[in-house]
Structure 1
Amino acid sequence: MLGILPVAFYEQQSTLSLAESLLGCILVKETNDGRCSGMIVETEAYIGPWDQAAHSFESKRTKRTEIMYHSAGHIYTYVMHTHCLVNIVSGEVDAPEAVLIRAVEPLEGKGVMRSRREGKNDIQLTNGPGKLTKALGITMNDYGGMVTSPPLMVEAGKVVRKEEINTGPRIGIPNSGDAKHYPWRYWLSGNPYVSK
């Protein structure tokens, strides 16, 4: 691995740019079970308070969304249905924006991931936002941390060329007005771990 990405990586680019730049980077979680990691292959950008799909739409500052108002590089986890999802805060302080990590390609700790996702084949381990958090051991305890230090980090990885990236509407946001059409989902073309 090429080392943990510095906070400047998150602070010095827009949320849309960050959603692209994270593709190819390595999401790492260290737990008592060991180190698990995966290459980020799919992301979604959320830009509140005018993005109807964002939790911070209309500046809804709640206990859940509070960390979105902090500096870039913070971890925003939340539970949707029964799944924990992980986002990286972007934008400036008091500008509640974030990038959702939608899918990763497993790298380290596949045995641990399989034990956490019992009965699932390799593609099914991490090809969705709730699947990857369970496989890597990301929980609500990670809320508010920084991805620049353990136990949850993002490391430099593969250099991705623009022509390798596809974009399209975000998934699972039917009641978000025009925002459901914004092409703010980014994924690595042809990667089998991209969510379905």
Structure 2
Amino acid sequence: MDYSTYFSNQPTETIAQDLLGRPLYFDNGKEILGGYIVETEAYLGKKDRAAHSYNGRRSPANEGLYGKAGTLYIYSQRQYFFFDVATQEKDEPQGILIRAIEPSLGINTMIKNRSGKSGPLLTNGPGKMMQALGITSRKWDLHFLDDSPFTIDLNDKHKKIPQEIIPSARIGINQSNPEWASKKLRFFVKGNPYVSKMKKREYQENHGWT
């Protein structure tokens, strides 16, 4: 299945859950870094008050959301960068934020990129994940996944299967709109230590995989 088909043939919330357990890799030109996706958030476009495209807002800064399905929307807040993939058809600005991965490749380099931080602190949040991958600019914003150094492996044979997917409210959403702030559009692998804000007592020995 190609990216355009995968990211457009089902609802964004469904894709956000299906991505859990799929490998996300970044080729830095010297080695492959990455791991298994363990946490995502769905953003539902023009109607979603928490989305950057709410009410049809459109500018060079968020143009990636309006691209065809599988277009990268990489944005920054303060010194951190965030990895989002556009879903649905062109000009229907929905997307999925990849919030965390469980590292599997290039771990030593990722630790260096994170100034020595290791274990769950390595990649247990969207800014940390991008820092671990060595992303320090919006260079790949607006690129299609196929035309970037990023890969999301859609081969089901390479996917880890979560024992349980937990839906919850998204993190850091403005509470001035309780409806959208409380919608359960964040999805994570129950018991995986690399999920952001996962408490130690909730860690599972198998990291939540079957």
Q: What TM-score do you get using the length of structure 1 for normalisation?
A: 0.92
Tell me which residue corresponds to 2:103.
Answer: 106
Give the superposition deviation at 1:66.
1.1
**CA–CA distance in structure 1, aligned partners of residues 114 and 64 of structure 2:** 29
Instruction: Tell me the secondary structure at the aligned position of residue 34 of structure 2.
Output: strand
Written as runs of structure 1 = structure 2, the 5 A alignment for 1:141-156 is 141-156=139-154
SS of the residue corresponding to residue 41 of structure 1 reads strand
Give the deviation of 1:159 after TM superposition: 4.5
User: What does residue range 64-75 of structure 1 map to in structure 2 within 5 Å?
Assistant: 64-75=61-72
C-alpha separation in 2, matches of 1:88 and 1:10: 8
Partner of 2:32: 35
Output aligned runs, 1:12-31, within 5 Å.
12-31=9-28
Contact conserved, 2:38 with 2:101, CA < 8 A, in 1? yes
Contact between 1:40 and 1:104, CA under 8 Å: does it hold in 2? yes
Aligned residues: 192
In structure 1, C-alpha distance between the alignment counterparts of 2:128 and 2:87, rounded to whole Å: 23
Q: Structure 1 residues 45, 80: CA separation in 2 closer, same or farther (over 3 Å shift)? A: same
Displacement of 1:5 in angstroms is: 5.6
Q: Distance in 2 between matches of 1:150 and 1:88?
A: 12
Change (3 A) 1:6 1:69: closer
Q: Which amino acid aligns with 2:151?
A: M
Q: Aligned pair 1:128/2:129, yes or no? A: no
> RCO (CA 8 Å, sep 6+): is it higher in 1 or 2?
1
Distance 2:103 2:66 in 1: 31
What's the offset of the Cα at 1:8?
1.6
Alignment check: 8 A CA contact 1:71 1:91 kept: yes
* Counterpart position of 1:78: 75
Deviation at residue 80 of structure 1 after TM alignment: 1.2
1:81-140 deviations in whole A, cap 9, x for unaligned? 210001010011111000000000001000110110013122111000000001112341
**Partner Cα separation in structure 2 for residue 113 and residue 158 of structure 1:** 22
- After TM superposition, the score normalised by the length of structure 2 is 0.86
C-alpha distance in 2, partners of 1:26/1:5?
Answer: 15
Provide structure 1 residue ranges, at least 5 long, that are not aligned to the other structure. none
Show structure 1 runs of 4+ deviating over 6 A.
none
Q: Which residue of 2 aligns with 1:9?
A: 6
Partner of 2:189: 188
1:187 match: secondary structure: strand
> 1:78 & 1:60 partners in 2: Cα distance?
15
Question: Are the counterparts in 2 of residues 142 and 152 from structure 1 also a CA contact under 8 Å?
Answer: no
Quick check: 164-173 or 24-33, which moved more? 24-33
Amino acid at match of 2:141: Y
